[in-house]
Structure 1
Amino acid sequence: MSAPLIQRLRPPQLKLIRAIHDVGKLQLAAEAVGMSQPAASRMLAEIETHVGAPLFERLPRGMVSTEIGAAFVRHARVILTEIDALAAEVGKLHGGKAGVVRVGTVTGPAVSALVPALTAIRAEVPDIQPTIEVAPSVTLIRGLDEGRFDFVLARLVGDNQVRSFEAHPGRTEVISFLVRASHPLAGKTVSLAETQPYDFVIQEAGSPIRNALENAFLSSHLHTPDKVTNSSSLLVALSLITGSNAIAPLTREVAQMLARTGMDLDVITTTESIVVSPFLVLQSRHHALSPMAQRLRDEVLRRL
């Protein structure tokens, strides 16, 4: 078969060849693919001319594939199946019923908004392919700038330039303290002063939770905790608090969720309110969201 034929083959031709093979009669095959018998006859003759050999034997009982014709039919089935699959996938993507979504989030909104939104979407759209990265805001915003995320749930910190983003308001979050269940303060409501003797495991200096905690201590005329392990890793925090009397400040939703997991953890609330600056739902001004990403973002916003 010559290269020009390969380049000129079209789905209607492949459908006709498949139909002739399946029904064995040109007239029935023409009707199956929605064309007249003379047009089908001309199309088949054109293909056979370029191939240089017949694709079907004309027998009294009907048309039977030659060896070359059978090869055409085998490949036609694969090609047409892939074309149908492509059309279906494109239709789903256009309709927001499938697709890859890449989202970055800080921990609190992941628990309170993103995961519930994703669960709701997946119940309707099982073909969604999400990637979720949990990281500090500065990492997420850098990733958004670099095009690694469709949108992020983060806070503007440091030199972040809001003009490069389209921002949707999130909400403020309240901090609770997570400790092991056998901690002397577990399950209690205490003053910040009562927590000072204990070790803390906190996100690095400059992070929103760290700033909120330090501001709460200073507003209460207390010095900030002396014994601090700096880490943004939730795994590190859990390892430290389960093995000692260390305290991990987390957003209330995250602390309460972890306390319900059966890991022998409990929550300390404080008489002083510790509030983190509001997070935002951020996306680039320069890149439109795919229908699936927009659908997930809208579901997140609905839950804020």
Structure 2
Amino acid sequence: MNPPSALVRRLRARHLELLQILGEVSTVHAAAKRMNLSQPATTRMLREVEAMFGGPLFDRNARGIAPNRSGTALIARAAILMRELGTIENEIGLVRQGQQGLLRIGALSGNLNATVAVAQLLKKAPTVQVSIREGQINLLIASLLGGELDCVVGPITDEELRNVRIDELRLERLVEDSMAVVASPNSAWSRRRRIKWEDLSEARWILPPTESVLRRAFMRVYLELGMRPPQHTVEALSPLTTRSLITLGTVDLGLLRMAHAKEEARLGGLKILSMVSAPKLPALALLARRAPSLRSAPLDLFIELLRESSGTIHDARA
């Protein structure tokens, strides 16, 4: 085992806290107030940090201070470490209460693969506490890189791969996916065969937000046909909202990822329309931080179960 560096011996949590605060305020005076310290003590602490890292981290000006390139990089890392310390504190608290730890998952709303894996995880490790954050994939990846999540399950597009810090993560493709158009089983649409996309242009749609993978694939279909994409009657991200509004007759049609649509069809809530083509979507993937030291035992078990559930769902729905 390598001996600890001089930085490890000298750096304190309060130094990290100061850096995190200086990423949010522009004066040492404001930082001192936030830390409940005197301004001279805060200035001295900042000088200690700059000495540890071999040079200035901030540019001084009449309005206060601003991080230089080194400072900006260090502030980002300090914020991650502070969040990790908060996570450690929470996990130890959970362990003292008899829990096995905390697992923080980012996923698209209604992600069936992640849901099945979580259910299996809690059967095998019932004292693990799970937090699922749903949202757009790019925002979830930013939270993963920022230390707020342990993993993300979702479609990875070329846009996400252009993230300048994507190489800090490990990516594992889970299953291929495609887009499904869904309607009420009782609707006239559900009785039709080999429907063309052009036939649906005047229908009442519930569509996901424009920045979502599903919506972009939907728009591409119509643009390639030389047509204007249909307008939405309702815009919503949640598959539950899609099913509810179609069932209530508020809208005619909606979009779902194929795995989720097949599950809804199996339960009888929705019918998948027989389209002449089903555009492929970016494969569902798992993202986690690359360093094994940042992966907990609950996360490793969840990853294993996610691989199994993804294969099972794909085989059962094929």
Normalised to the residue count of structure 1, the TM-score between the two structures is 0.60
Letter in 1 for 2:230: P
Letter in 1 for 2:132: I
Verify: 1:251 aligned to 2:253, yes or no. Answer: no
Correspondence for 2:37: none
Correspondence for 1:207: 212
1:18-167 aligned at under 5 Å gives the runs: 98-107=100-109, 110-111=111-112, 113-154=113-154, 155-156=156-157, 157=159, 160-161=163-164, 162-167=166-171
Correspondence for 1:34: none
Correspondence for 1:270: 275
CA distance in 2, matches of 1:137, 1:220: 28
Correspondence for 1:73: none
CA distance in 2, matches of 1:248, 1:174: 14
CA distance in 2, matches of 1:180, 1:254: 15
Correspondence for 1:175: 179
Tell me: CA distance 1:210–1:200, structure 2 relative to 1, closer, same or farther (3 Å): same
Contact 1:168 1:281 in 2 (8 A): yes
Q: Deviations over 1:204-256 (max 9, x none)?
A: 22321111112222334443213453321334423432223431110112122
SS in 2 for 1:278: strand
Contact 1:216 1:272 in 2 (8 A): no
How far apart are residue 148 of structure 1 and its match?
Answer: 2.0
CA distance in 2, matches of 1:168, 1:187: 39
Letter in 2 for 1:164: E
Letter in 2 for 1:214: M
Percent of pairs identical after alignment?
17
The partner residue of 1:295 within 274, 298, 301 is: 301
Contact 1:216 1:273 in 2 (8 A): no
CA distance in 2, matches of 1:275, 1:228: 24
Q: State the number of aligned residues.
A: 209
Letter in 1 for 2:278: S
How far apart are residue 282 of structure 1 and its match?
Answer: 0.8
- For the aligned residue pairs, the C-alpha RMSD in angstroms reads 2.7
Tell me: CA distance 1:187–1:267, structure 2 relative to 1, closer, same or farther (3 Å): farther
SS in 1 for 2:283: coil
Tell me: CA distance 1:172–1:222, structure 2 relative to 1, closer, same or farther (3 Å): farther
Q: Which is greater in Rg?
A: 1
SS in 2 for 1:104: strand
Verify: 1:241 aligned to 2:249, yes or no. Answer: no
Letter in 2 for 1:103: I
CA distance in 2, matches of 1:160, 1:205: 20
Correspondence for 1:4: none
The partner residue of 1:229 within 223, 231, 234 is: 234
CA distance in 2, matches of 1:131, 1:138: 18
CA distance in 1, matches of 2:231, 2:119: 41
SS in 2 for 1:178: strand
CA distance in 2, matches of 1:271, 1:130: 40
CA distance in 2, matches of 1:187, 1:107: 29
Q: Detail structure 1 runs of 4+ shifted over 6 Å in the superposition.
A: none
SS in 2 for 1:143: helix
CA distance in 2, matches of 1:165, 1:102: 16
